[in-house]
Chain A
Amino acid sequence: MSETSQTQATQEPSVLTVQDAYGVLLERFPGQVRMDERQGYEGVLIEADSLLDVASFMRDQLGIRYLSSVTGVDNLPNGQLESVYHAFAGLGPALVFKVQVDRDRPEVPSLVSVWPSADFQERESYDLLGIRYIGHPNLQRILTWEGFHGHPLRKDWHEPYYEEELKPFASRHPDGHVYRAEDRNPFGMNLQYPSDFDPHNWTDIAQAAVYQPLQRTALESRLETETMVINLGPQHPSTHGVLRVVMAVDGETVVDLMPVFGYLHRNHEKIGERCTFPQIMPYTDRLDYICSMSTNLAYALAVEKLTGIRPPERAEYIRVIMAELTRIVNHLLAIGFLWNDVGAFFTPVVYAFNERELILDLFEMAAGSRMMCNYVRVGGVFEDLPDGWMEKARRLVYDRLPRFVDEYERLVVQNEIWRARAIGVGVLPAERAIAVGATGPLLRGSGVPYDIRRVEPYSIYDRFDFDVAVRFNGDVYDRFMIRFDEMRQSLRILRQAMEQIPDGPVQTGKKNYTIKVPPGEAYHRIEAPKGELGFYLVSDGRPNPWRYHVRSTSLINLTSLAEMCRGHKIADVVVILGSIDITLGEVDR
């Protein structure tokens, strides 16, 4: 029963449109809330002092229960920092609200108490932009380390290899002369130190800061046993990359846990601000490197939303085909690596990689590259599908993959050990899943049938007949089984797309390294294989974005890790982490 009521509850607020919601807010909080009148911008501006009241009102009275994205923008010319929020109520577009604060005193109330999904995102915004979120339970740097100088995404902060604001740099073609960026730095590396830095008397505060919140838990524990703090990662075979998980354990039982990020922080957003809009595309490949096609698509759609460019019909179909193939690749690997974590060491992964190679062959045929496809363009795709591609893809989609999915499922699903390790482990109730901002299979495995392809259809997903996969127990087993369901639905979409695909051009306009983008902002999200992947772009009319932010699926899905793991054994942490399915490139960016 509880599952049914949950389903209804998530759909209930859709009666209110976003415009109505803005109207209600303006009426209820006069003087505190005003419309954002800047050209190309949407949403409301809220005074910092009343943010908490307005947010609670939105959650409790307007039914905005899902805060998707929190980020910041440095409005250097106005001397202001802006904290930007995108929230959703079931169906429909985002409710956008912003808080503008003075650059010298950037203090914004933290929304973690209203929407726990703000936790990591506020920390990120603090780390990179220096917006202090008052009342945040653990406001620490997240991607850089405690002690790092400055806030890198501020417009007046320059990296050691800084050359110019905008690419292509003049040094790109320096009349036949080649130089290395290292040669211009006194240390021969990309290093810079503040003038008051004394290397002899530096105390390393980075590690102490990481352990501090957990040691608090350890002290509060009333048990007579001793609580111990241990590390999992950053070099560990089960962390799927360089994630570090710090745990307070009591014997084998996890008392508290905190993921530590930043070991793969590659300054994606800072580099993005230096690139022109089309130049960012190859970097998006390297965000979620297992699903580069989906990430490409999300970014292209965001720029298209900003510019109003529409891709031709054939390109839309090609994009959908590629995105769904990517979803299959991702789910195959997610399942394989999850089994790996349970102890089925590498056999399922090898099975998964076998099929992945076949799909990657298709990508290589179309895009020229196996993994970093860089295939989708703003207003279309890079090239039309080569001869023979469709036949090859049809054989795979109609014949081989459906059989393989069944076989793969049979391989382990009935396995006694697997069921014992998965059923009832890491339960995330629907209510909590929404609160912590879980998306994708993680959310749908908890009984919330929320799929962006259905609730806010993008591209041409409204033309296809498919079911939103949902399972209700919210444990590792359901999160795992839902990936089989989704692969079957993807195959269904693929078959329809392959039948309907028309002939025609695949690119609007001509190819260029830069495009004209009007001033304004856009947030676009897609249902990436791992969940909601959003791109937030702010343009000031120049060829490069003023702000380029990725609403990372994996990072925000990890918010739920701590509460899923508490009370379980250390060995279960690995399984629960595997069931979330993260890619570190996207977590740390």
Chain B
Amino acid sequence: MADDLTHPSIKVPAEIQGTVRVATWERFYNWCRSRSVWPMMFGLACCAIEMVAMASSRFDFSRFGMEVMRASPRQADLMIVAGTVTKKMVPQIVRLYNQMAEPRYVLSMGACANGGGPFKEGYSVVSGVDKYIPVDVYVPGCPPTPQALIFGFIQLHRKIEGQTWKDYTWYKNRGHGEEIPLPILGPDLFDPRQIALIEAAAISEQANVEQAAG
């Protein structure tokens, strides 16, 4: 299991190859991190059932050191956005994301979380969770099979292993990244960051109406 830990350029003597690995501290640290990702127990829709299926005997994600599902975002490293993200739910999702401890990862599971999916045209469905929070891995499918989800996890492991302390926000700043402002439920969902855009759109619409009238 730990074969991938040894750096390819380093020759370990044959007699101790079974017990000794030689790696950089960063590689070792990331390897440990990637093998103990705790997901948040957080299901939104249909995909959540497949997520549970993946946790149970046939697929069994304990093999990846991930079986410790936490109900609290404070104790979780990975948010699996499993299902359709609706406008009513987005403020909660963003809040949960803000509450997660760094370094944190987001895996978007299924067509709906990736981009709206079959319900994209609907009036209360968000066109992908990445419109509000940053996503690390996208798993396609409707719903993705447990195998596909496991593949997504392996991709996440790769990503974690490839990170260096220099470029990851949390290690760089020694603190939390910026909090994402919570979207607000108005006449339609609105993001406080988009207020200028909303006002501009209202002005241009008014101009159009006046132009049509005059």
A148 close to B187 (CB less than 8 A): yes
6 residue pairs bridging A and B, Cβ less than 8 Å apart:
A159-B123, A160-B123, A187-B198, A189-B127, A195-B206, A274-B121
Chain A residue contacts of B189, Cβ below 8 A: 191
Selected from B96, B127, B186, the residue in CB contact (under 8 A) with A193 is B186
Q: Is B33 an interface residue (CB 8 A)?
A: no
Size band of the interface chain B makes with A: 35 or more
List chain B residues, Cβ under 8 A from A265.
86, 88, 124
Contact mask for chain A residues 146-161; partner B; CB cutoff 8 A; 1 contact, 0 none:
0111001000000111
Q: Is B49 an interface residue (CB 8 A)?
A: yes
Set of chain B residues within 8 Å of A161, measured between Cβ atoms: 120-121
Instruction: Determine whether the beta carbon of B127 is less than 8 Å from that of A286.
Output: no
Check B86–A193 contact: CB distance below 8 A: no
Q: Which listed residue (A163, A349, A584) contacts B45, Cβ 8 A? A: A584
What A residues does B125 contact at CB under 8 A? 190, 266-267
Min Cβ gap B83→A in Å is 7
* Chain A nearest CB, measured from B165 CB (Å): 31
Is B185 within 8 A of A262, CB to CB?
no
Chain B residues with Cβ below 8 Å from A189 are 126-127, 131
B188 contacts the other chain (Cβ, under 8 Å)?
yes
Q: Is A504 an interface residue (CB 8 A)?
A: no
State the CA gap A206–B131 with chains docked (Å): 22
| Cβ-based interface call for B92 (8 A) | yes
Separation of A145 and B121 alpha carbons in the complex (Å):
19
* Contact indicator B41/A237 (Cβ below 8 Å): yes
**Is B145 within 8 A of A149, CB to CB?**
no
In the A-B complex, the 3 residue pairs with the smallest Cβ-Cβ separation, listed nearest first, are: A267-B122, A289-B46, A159-B123
Inter-chain contact B88/A354, CB cutoff 8 Å: no
B-contact bits for A563-589, CB 8 A (1 contact / 0 none): 000000000000000000000110010
In the complex, are the beta carbons of B188 and A148 less than 8 A apart? yes
Whether A197 and B53, one on each chain, are in contact in the complex, defined by CB atoms closer than 8 angstroms, is no
Q: A181: CB under 8 A from chain B?
A: yes
CB-CB < 8 A to B88: which residues of A? 144-145, 262-263, 265
Interface residue B202 (Cβ < 8 Å from any Cβ of A): yes
Contact B41 A267 (CB under 8 A): no
Number of residue pairs across A and B with beta carbons under 8 Å?
172
Report whether B49 and A289 are in contact in the complex, using a CB–CB cutoff of 8 Å: yes
| Contact assessment for B202 and A195 in the assembled complex, using a CB-CB cutoff below 8 Å | yes
A372 touches B190 (CB 8 A): no
Tell yes or no: A204 within 8 A of B by CB.
Answer: yes
> Does A356 sit within 8 A of B, measured CB to CB?
yes
Question: How many angstroms from the CA of A237 to the CA of B42 in the assembled complex?
Answer: 7
CB-based contact A193/B46 at 8 Å: no
User: Do the beta carbons of B205 and A147 come within 8 Å of each other?
Assistant: no
Measured in the bound complex, the distance between the Cα atoms of B119 and A264 in whole Å is: 11
A residues 178-197 in Cβ contact with B at 8 Å: 181-182, 186-195, 197
Cβ-defined contact, B57 with A353, below 8 A = yes
- A109 lies within 8 A of chain B by Cβ: no
Q: Are B119 and A353 in contact (CB under 8 A)?
A: no
Instruction: Confirm or deny: B142 has a beta carbon within 8 angstroms of a beta carbon on chain A.
Output: yes
Among residues of A, the one whose C-beta sits closest to the C-beta of B84 is A266
* Distance, CA A271 to CA B143, complexed state (A): 19
A interface, over-half SS: loop
Residues of chain A with a CB closer than 8 A to B120's CB: 161, 181, 190
Q: Which residues of B contact A354 (CB under 8 A)?
A: 56-58
Do A144 and B124 touch across chains, with their CB atoms under 8 A apart?
A: yes
Whole-angstrom CA separation of A143 from B89 in the bound complex = 11
* Chain A residue nearest to B190 in the complex (CB): A199
Would B205 and A195 count as touching, CB distance under 8 A?
yes
A235 CB contact (under 8 Å) in B42, B57, B116 = B42
Q: Which residues from A are CB-within-8-Å of B204?
A: 186
Residue of B nearest to A364 (CB): B145
Q: How far is the CA of A356 from the CA of B123 in the complex (A)?
A: 34
Q: B14 contacts the other chain (Cβ, under 8 Å)? A: no
How far does the alpha carbon of A188 sit from the alpha carbon of B190 in the complex, in Å? 12
Kindly identify which residue among B45, B48, B52, B188 contacts A149, using a CB–CB cutoff of 8 Å: B188
Determine the distance from Cα of A266 to Cα of B205 in the docked complex, in whole angstroms: 28
User: Any chain B CB within 8 A of the CB of A202?
Assistant: yes
- Interchain nearest-CB distance for B53 vs A (Å): 6
Contact A187 B194 (CB under 8 A): yes
- Beta-carbon contact of B122 and A270 below 8 Å: yes
Indicate if the CB atoms of A263 and B186 lie closer than 8 Å: no
Quick check: A263 and B127 within 8 Å, CB to CB?
Answer: no
B142 and A372 form a contact (CB under 8 A): yes
* A337→B24 CA distance, assembly (Å): 45
Q: Evaluate contact between A234 and B89: CB separation under 8 angstroms.
A: yes
- The minimal Cβ–Cβ distance linking A140 to chain B, given in whole angstroms, is 14
Q: What's the Cα separation between A353 and B61 when bound, in Å?
A: 14
A242 sits at the interface (CB 8 A): yes
Q: Is the CB of B22 closer than 8 A to any CB of chain A?
A: no
Contact present for A372 and B121 (CB under 8 Å) = no
Q: Are A350 and B57 in contact (CB under 8 A)?
A: yes
Note all chain A residues with C-beta closer than 8 A to B206: 195
For residue A457, which residues in chain B have a CB less than 8 angstroms away from its CB?
Answer: none
A282 and B118 CA atoms in complex are apart in Å by 9
A370 interface contact, C-beta 8 A: yes
Output the least CB separation between A411 and chain B (Å).
15
Bound complex: CA A149 to CA B89 (Å): 17
Contact between B84 and A270, CB atoms less than 8 A apart: no
A289, B48: Cα distance in complex, Å: 10
Contacts of A148 in B (CB 8 A): 185, 187-188
Q: Is the CB of B89 within 8 A of A264?
A: yes
- A403 interface residue per 8 A CB criterion: no
* Known contacts A191-B189, A235-B92, A354-B56, A286 near B118 by CB under 8 Å: yes
